[in-house]
């Protein structure tokens, strides 16, 4: 009997050892991918791919680093400290491409079809209630916060002001990360802001700001943010780059499956995605994410190229582009097409 127990224990120990060796081997074979992001709701494709193990299934060990704006990712991204970044095409990005730095726009992260805004112009509630602010033209002379100069969000502000007969020089632009914009509205340090979700709804629910207009209303189908690959990642690790794209698109598709036609979370699938948002973002409330339509993340990763060109021309008009560069030179959809060849076109589940 004792011999039988010893044999059973030895078998179990061997099984555990084999499992440990297999796990160690799996980890050793995993490819590290360093990703920069801003931890906003539209990073959901990345969050889902990480949480549900889609990156891991592709043999990837993905490490997230958070920045307060996409523009601030550009320096470490250009230096090769990041393989992938998620944020807005910026003047800084195009200037780097113009200097010969290989960085590529590879897929959609978020765009703004009608009814699915990404960012919203907020004006401090006290200014609205006092009558100081009545129309967008009343932004003249006010202090307006944007995440950073020369971003796609800056392009939205450019058009908001333009449609009111104002120029970008008619307001005092202040660079603040999205969470800091909410705090600055609450203290009166700024008069208006242009945050993304979940910070937009947070500022409104707490009574700091009033919604004036969304980017989807002013600038429909704006390519507000994208997925970028570094040239080193794209050229030296192309198979890994395709695997990353497949996992990312699976995450985006899960997100789309959880939304109704208006972009609101619905059913058990909605509950699952909300739980992931609560884990990865600063908001820890299920009801919060059910209170507004989510911005549109294209489940096939399709880019609005005309929008990218329009933003580039706005940066150029404002004197932000320092050298001759073709903005389309930075577009590379080869990894997206390779991933779609394996995944097929999106069909809502």
Please state the domain extents for the chain.
Answer: 31-115+222-343, 120-218
Task: Fold for 31-115+222-343, please state it.
Answer: D-Maltodextrin-Binding Protein; domain 2 (3.40.190)
User: The tokens of 108 are what?
Assistant: 């959609």
Q: Is the peptide bond before 198 cis (omega within 30 degrees of 0)?
A: yes
Residue-wise over 238-271: b if at least 16 C-beta within 10 A, else e?
eebbbbbbbbbbbbbbbbbbbbeeebebeeebbe
CB atoms within 10 A of CB 141: 9
CB atoms within 10 A of CB 182: 25
Contact criterion met (CB below 8 Å) for 106 and 335: yes
Contact criterion met (CB below 8 Å) for 122 and 194: yes
- For residue 23, the model assigns a pLDDT of 42
Strands 143-146, 223-230: pairing is: unpaired
User: The tokens of 17 are what?
Assistant: 């050892």
120-218 is a CATH 3.40.190.10 domain:
yes
Let me know if the fold of 31-115+222-343 is the same as that of 120-218: yes
Rounded to 10 degrees, what is the CA torsion of 264, 267, 273, 277? 60
- For residue 252, the model assigns a pLDDT of 98
**Mind giving me the DSSP string for 28-81?**
HHPEEEEEEE---GGGHHHHHHHHTTHHHHTTEEEEEEE-SSGGGGHHHHHTTS
Nearest to 195 by CA among 123, 131, 115: 123
Strand order in the sheet with 192-193: 172-175, 143-146, 192-193, 120-124, 209-214
pTM for the whole thing? 0.83
Q: Can you give the pLDDT of all 349 residues of the chain as single tens digits?
A: 444 444 444 444 444 444 444 444 344 578 999 999 988 889 999 999 999 999 999 999 999 999 877 777 888 888 889 999 998 899 989 999 999 999 999 999 999 998 898 899 999 999 999 999 999 999 999 999 998 888 888 999 999 999 999 999 999 999 998 889 999 999 999 999 999 888 899 999 999 999 999 999 999 999 999 999 999 999 999 999 999 999 999 999 999 999 999 999 999 999 999 999 999 998 899 998 999 888 899 999 999 999 999 999 999 999 999 988 999 999 999 999 999 999 999 999 9
- For residue 118, the model assigns a pLDDT of 87
Residue with tokens 């002379």: 141
- For residue 3, the model assigns a pLDDT of 47
The one-character DSSP state at 292 is: S
- For residue 166, the model assigns a pLDDT of 96
Contact criterion met (CB below 8 Å) for 188 and 99: no
Between CA 154 and CA 94 the distance in angstroms is 14
The interaxial angle of helices 267-280 and 44-51, nearest 10 deg, is 100
Contact criterion met (CB below 8 Å) for 160 and 213: yes
CA atoms within 13 A on the CB side of 342: 15
Q: Determine whether 189 is exposed, middle or buried from the number of CB atoms within 10 Å of its CB (0-12, 13-18, 19+).
A: middle
Nearest to 220 by CA among 327, 296, 316: 296
CB atoms within 10 A of CB 272: 17
Please name every residue paired with 95 in a beta bridge, in sequence order, or none if there are none: none
Nearest to 151 by CA among 314, 337, 289, 347: 314
Strands 60-66, 84-87: pairing is: unpaired
> Reduced to 3 states, what is the DSSP secondary structure of residue 324?
coil
């Amino acid at each position: 009997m004792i011999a039988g127990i010893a044999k059973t224990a030895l078998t179990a120990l061997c099984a555990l050892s084999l499992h440990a060796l297999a796990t160690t081997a799996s980890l050793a074979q995993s490819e590290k991918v360093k990703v920069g992001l801003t931890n906003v709701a539209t990073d959901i494709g990345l969050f889902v791919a990480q949480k549900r193990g889609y990156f891991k299934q592709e043999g990837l060990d993905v490490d997230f680093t958070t920045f307060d704006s996409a523009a601030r990712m550009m320096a470490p991204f250009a230096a090769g400290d990041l393989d992938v970044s998620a944020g807005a095409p910026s003047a800084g990005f195009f200037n780097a491409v113009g200097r010969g730095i290989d960085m590529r726009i590879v897929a959609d992260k978020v765009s703004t079809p009608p009814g699915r805004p990404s960012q919203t112009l907020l004006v401090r509630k006290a200014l609205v209630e006092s009558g100081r602010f009545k129309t967008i033209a009343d932004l003249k002379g006010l202090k307006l916060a944007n995440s950073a100069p020369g971003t796609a969000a800056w392009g939205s502000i450019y058009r908001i002001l333009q449609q009111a007969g104002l120029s970008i020089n008619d307001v005092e632009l202040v660079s603040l990360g999205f969470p800091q914009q909410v705090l600055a509205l609450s203290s009166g340090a700024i008069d208006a802001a242009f945050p993304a979700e979940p910070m937009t709804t947070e500022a409104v629910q707490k009574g700091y700001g009033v919604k004036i207009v969304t980017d989807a209303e002013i600038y429909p189908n704006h390519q507000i943010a994208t997925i970028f690959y570094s040239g080193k990642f794209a050229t030296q690790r192309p198979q890994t780059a395709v695997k990353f794209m497949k996992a990312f698109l699976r995450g985006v598709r899960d997100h789309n499956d959880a939304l109704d036609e208006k972009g609101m979370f619905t059913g058990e699938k909605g509950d699952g995605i909300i739980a992931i948002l609560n884990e990865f973002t600063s908001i820890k409330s299920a009801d919060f994410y059910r209170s507004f339509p989510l911005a549109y993340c294209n489940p096939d990763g399709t880019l609005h190229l005309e929008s990218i060109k329009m933003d580039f021309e706005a940066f150029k008009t404002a004197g932000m582009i320092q050298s001759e560069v073709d903005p389309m030179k930075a577009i590379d959809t080869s990894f997206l097409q390779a991933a779609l060849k394996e995944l097929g076109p999106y069909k809502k589940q």
